[in-house]
Structures are given as structure tokens and as C-alpha cells.
Amino acid sequence: MNIIFVLAQVFAFLGWLCLIYSYYKDDIQKLLRIQIIAAIFDTLSYLLLGADAGLLICGFELIKGILYYKTDKDNLIFLISLPIYGLIAWYSCGDEGWIALLPVIGSIIDSFVLTKNKNIATIGSIVSSILWIIYDIFILAYSAAFTDSVLVISNLFVLFLGYSRILHIDKLHVIRCRYISRHIFTNIASLDHEIYGAEKYLWSIEEQRDIFKANPDSLLLIRDKKKTIGYIHYVAITEEKCLKYKRAHIYNDKLLPSDVTQLRKRRKNYLLIESITIKRSYESKKMADLIRHRLSIYIKNRQKQGYKIHGILSIGVSDFEKDFLQDCDFIRLKTYADKEELYELDEIGIAKLIHAK
């Protein structure tokens, strides 16, 4: 058997293994790096098979995928990609004939549905994978055809069950904000208006920006693919501010930059979960489990780094927030006049949270 043919199948299979492994990563940057490696293996596989369309599309998808993750310009990237797909189809059809159109059409469909709702995106991914399977069979990329078939089955699970046990694929993920653009601030304000409504619960962009500058490690975005559907805002606060919250009889969630501090080693640290805001259509046990898991990972990592978390405060305003805090064994300290509730998780509760299975 031709060694080049065998290597092509091996590279395709290695790319698939990398893709599966990437879905187990909570950190979006790590996921991206592993998927880049997967794309490189796929590109090498099509290169060895002499498949022009597969080679050019994989190389282009590698660049486009990085742009999708690094920017918020999804529609612009898609529009710019269309003439490039046209050039790939024109060039590839010269050698491969009409079959070269299949992966081109599949990739365009995949790109188009990227920012659509969950079901449309999943259906588009299934159609795209089927077109790639037909192409792979024609060019003798049998390993790639097999792995694409598994992706079809996986996406069928996502479509009908909302989750794939085959590849551990879930459309929901949590990312940490290293930089907050005005676009992100606008998304947060929109979510706040939808969930809370009342003016006293809403922060201005300037207030949010000041707190973020005081503690950049303070905001997690919850996304369904590229769509922001919620956020978690938490900050390290001074011991004095922690005591003021516990003594106060009037609800007030406004923070000043002077209330915010950085985690320090060899001293007690206090956290305030200022907001857990989720679009109402996404409120579920599954979402609560995702947030609990992400919160426990954050605290566990900080404890390992030597930052002792002595206590965590949180103010529950929405029913989802209150239910979540109670399920995580936060102790309700008081209820304010308008039914807002102040909760605390002490050291025993923190230890239980981070060691929970």
C-alpha cells in the first residue's frame, strides 16, 4: 500500500482526535490552539492526497477560524470570504471537476449558520458534513469520511437532545474577558435591562469600566457559540467593604474603585459575586451546573496559587440567582425591602464547593 496514502489517512485521524480533545477544554484559548493543530493535520492529509479543494479550504478555514474567535466581525468576515470561496471553486474544479464544489458549498453553509440560533447552526453543520463525506469518498479520504460521519451523528444528538455524549460537544461555553469593548458593555447593559429592568439595578458603562480597571479579572461571558447570553461579574473586595455589606440594612450594590482590591497571598481574601445574569430562555439546571463548575474551577485554581479565599458574598436579585446560590449552599444572611437577598459562603462552604463532583 502506498505510504503517502496511509499517511494521509493517519493525519486525518489525528486531526479528528485533536478536535475531540479540544471540546474538553473550558479555556477558549486552549480550545483554539488545539483546533489549529487539528486544522494543520487536515491540511496535510489533503495535501498528500492531492485534493486541491480540501487543501485550500482547510488552509483558508484555519485563517478564518482565528478571525472568528479574535473579533466580533462575523458577518463582515463571512462576506469577505465569499469571493475567496469562489476562487477556490474555480481553481479546484479545473482538476477535480464538479466534486470540488461540494466542500466549498459545505464550508459556505457552515460559515453562514455560525451566528444563527442553535438548531439552525446544528442543521447547517450536518448538511456541511454530509457534503464533505461525499467529497472525501470521491478523493479516497476514507479516514476523513469516517470522522465526518461521526460528526454527523454527534450533531444529530445536539439537535435532538441539546448535547452530544459522543464528542462531549456543548454549544454553551464560558470565556474570561481580557479586554472589554464598548460592544461587550452594550451586551451587558442589554442583558441587565431584560432581567432586572429597575433603574437601581443598572450600572452605567462608566461604572462598569471603572470597576473592571480596578480588577480586570472580574468578568466571565457565557456564550451560545458566538452569542453572549449571560455573564458573571465578581470582584475581590476589601474586608471593610465585606463587613459593610453584612451590616447594611438597605440594599446597595454600587461599588467604588476603592472598594475593589486584588487577591493577595498571606492574607484573607473576600469575593463579591455582584451579578449572575442569564437570558431567561437559558435559565436551567444545565446552566446552573455550568456556572457552578466554572466558579469552583476559578476558586480551586486561586487556592492552589496561594490565594486564600476566606469568604464569598453575593446579592440575589433574580429568582435564578437566588436558586443558584441556595443550591451552592450559600447561607442567606438577610432579605432587603424589595426582596433582594444577601448570601454568604464561608470557608467550609467554599471547601465543599471546590471538592464537589
Q: What is the pTM of this model?
A: 0.55
Strand residue runs (E) in the chain: 172-176, 219-224, 227-237, 269-278, 309-316, 331-335, 341-345
**What pLDDT does 168 receive?**
47
Q: How many C-beta neighbours within 10 Å does residue 285 have?
A: 10
Q: Which of 302, 280, 284 is nearest to 353 (CA)?
A: 302
**CA atoms within a 13 Å half-sphere pointing along the CA-CB vector of 247:** 6
Query: Residue 226 is placed in which grid cell?
Result: 458566538
Candidate CATH numbers 3.40.630.30, 1.10.1200.10, 3.40.1190.20, 3.40.605.10; the one for domain 172-354:
3.40.630.30
User: Are 70 and 53 in contact, with CB atoms under 8 Å apart?
Assistant: no
Residue found by looking up cell 486544522 in the block:
39
pLDDT in tens, 39-59: 888 888 888 888 888 889 888
**What pLDDT does 111 receive?**
77
The CA radius of gyration of the chain, in Å to the nearest whole number, is 24
User: Are 100 and 59 in contact, with CB atoms under 8 Å apart?
Assistant: no
**What pLDDT does 69 receive?**
63
**What pLDDT does 23 receive?**
63
**What pLDDT does 150 receive?**
76
CA distance 174 to 22: 14
CA distance 111 to 117: 13
User: Are 186 and 200 in contact, with CB atoms under 8 Å apart?
Assistant: no
Q: What is the pLDDT along the chain (357 residues), one digit of tens a residue?
A: 578 888 888 888 888 888 777 666 555 556 667 777 888 888 888 888 888 888 898 888 878 777 766 665 667 788 888 999 999 989 888 878 888 899 899 888 887 876 565 667 778 778 888 998 898 888 888 888 887 787 777 767 666 665 554 454 556 778 777 667 777 778 888 888 888 876 677 777 777 778 877 777 778 888 876 678 899 988 899 989 999 989 888 887 778 888 888 888 888 899 999 889 998 878 888 888 888 888 888 888 888 888 889 999 998 988 899 999 999 999 999 998 888 899 999 989 998 888 876
Q: How many C-beta neighbours within 10 Å does residue 24 have?
A: 12
